[in-house]
Chains A and B, each alone.
Chain A
Amino acid sequence: MGWINKQRNILDFALNSLLRRKGKNSALFVVYTGIIFLVSSIIFSSESIKRESQILLENSPEVVVQRTIAGRHDLIPEQYIGQLKSIRGVQEVKGRLWGYYFEPGVQANYTFVVPDEFLYGPGYIVIGNGVSKTFLAGKGDILPFKTLDGSYTSLEVADILSPDSEIVSSDLILLSEYDFRKVTGMQKGFYTDMILKVRNTRELQAITDKIRRILPDTRPITRNEIMRTYEAIFDWRSGILLAVISGAAFAFIIFAWDKATGLSSEEKKEIGILKGIGWETSDVLFMKTWEGLIISLSAFFLGVFFAYIHIYFASAFLFMPVLKGWSVLYPEFRLVPFLDMFQITTIFFLTVAPYTVATIIPSWRAATIDPDSVMRL
């Protein structure tokens, strides 16, 4: 009990001491909270999108085979299906039909996708929510599409994909093979690329090697590579954001370092008086540790809470302009809080620990010198 009471007294003293230097400490507190808010926002948002994309892309094709000519992606002929099927370990080969469509009226790029089985048949399309919003089109509306020969073909909107799926479907236009070939001009017997299903995923490496050997003009892309690409994108993106805020972070570090390591003569005198009236070195150290903890813990909690609200309740509105780029069709989606203790502990040790440690060292130096010489400063 005695020890707890002593700590409470020291805590009272530390709080009073901080309040005596209100201006400087509140400025430090605001900047500190702001930095923790930004770092936490970046960690929360990148983790969320990374985890969600991982779950989604685990369902992407096992292998995509692209044909490349002169370094550019080219259409792949139907005959390749037979050659790919002949590779041992390949279970199924399908041609994929997809492509882009630029709509000058709304200055947006859409993605055409032909499903394996399109229930509505020729003359109809199913559109993503982003397409519906930019085209201002609803169920039953007829949309014109410019075909390769310059004429227009009209397709009726049979359905709109759920707005909840915007992260994967915002710009999609699903249509029949007939309409796709009519609009894009892609000849029969050709596909955009091919997808493979393999019997045993452990044989993937051997299968992709074989594909490269028997079809040297193709490039196999595995599901693993797709997932790694997205992991890299989100790491890179959070890295870019961190680089953007690093200027502010460095300014804070200099400010905090100056505040934490260089005790003012007034503070040194205070320590001298405390020692003069009987405080022990350990008490002075406790007092300074409490001062550091009061500022850093409060800033940590508030910064983390604000970041959580910013990312998961306010749709990360501060980051959106950076993320959207020039996309007309940026999907509206709510990030899911895949929060774990690891993220919280990372933020804690990145922010609270360094500041608290930095405040103790100069205080220990000041607390161990002779009180008489400190008071004479």
Chain B
Amino acid sequence: MLSRKSDFFIAFLVICLMLLLLMTVHAAFSVRHAMPNIQAKARMVRGLHLTDLSLFTDARYTRHPSMADLHTAFQDHPMSFEHFPSGAIVFPPSHIHSYGLDQ
């Protein structure tokens, strides 16, 4: 049936498109499946009045970036380098910008 190279390529593309479709279906089902768990976590956030995700526990400004004070960026010394690796991948909180300290 697949006698030519073009047939193989077209079959490959069709399989890929089907897999892409399957991927979106899998994603939709996974989200539906995960929703009760996400909602349980959301209830925990509401019940315990949490403000941050428990992603980086190295330092207080990486554990609770949204609660970091305005001097967090230079908390050790005005010229100090960032001490924790996570500090390099945690963006300064947005309120620091809104206070215009970066200008």
Contacts and interface: CB of A to CB of B under 8 A. Distances in A.
Contact of B6 (A11, A236, A304, A338): A11
A179 interface: no
Interface string B14-37: 001001100110111011001001
Contact of B37 (A8, A164, A221): A164
Interface string B60-82: 10110111011100000000000
Nearest to A94: B49
Interface residues of B, number: 62
A27 interface: no
Interface stretch (A142-150, A169-177, A280-288, A363-371): A169-177
B54 A61 contact: no
Contacts, number: 211
B11 interface: no
Interface stretch (A48-56, A83-91, A181-189): A48-56
Nearest to B83: A326
Interface residues of A, number: 83
B100 interface: no
A325 interface: yes
A60 B51 contact: yes
A59 B38 CA distance: 11
5 contacts: A11-B10, A12-B4, A12-B6, A168-B45, A327-B56
Interface string A152-195: 00000000011011111111101000000000000000000101
Interface of B: 4-6, 9-10, 12-13, 16, 19-20, 23-24, 26-28, 30-31, 34, 37-38, 40-60, 62-63, 65-67, 69-71, 84-95, 98
Contacts of B59: 109
B75 to A, nearest CB: 8
A328 interface: yes
Interface of A: 8-9, 11-12, 15-16, 52-53, 55-61, 64, 66, 68, 71-73, 94, 96, 100, 108-111, 113, 115-116, 128, 130, 161-162, 164-172, 174, 193, 195, 219, 221, 225-226, 228-230, 232-233, 235-237, 240, 294, 297-298, 301, 304-305, 308, 312, 322-323, 325-331, 336-339, 341, 344
B66 A221 contact: yes
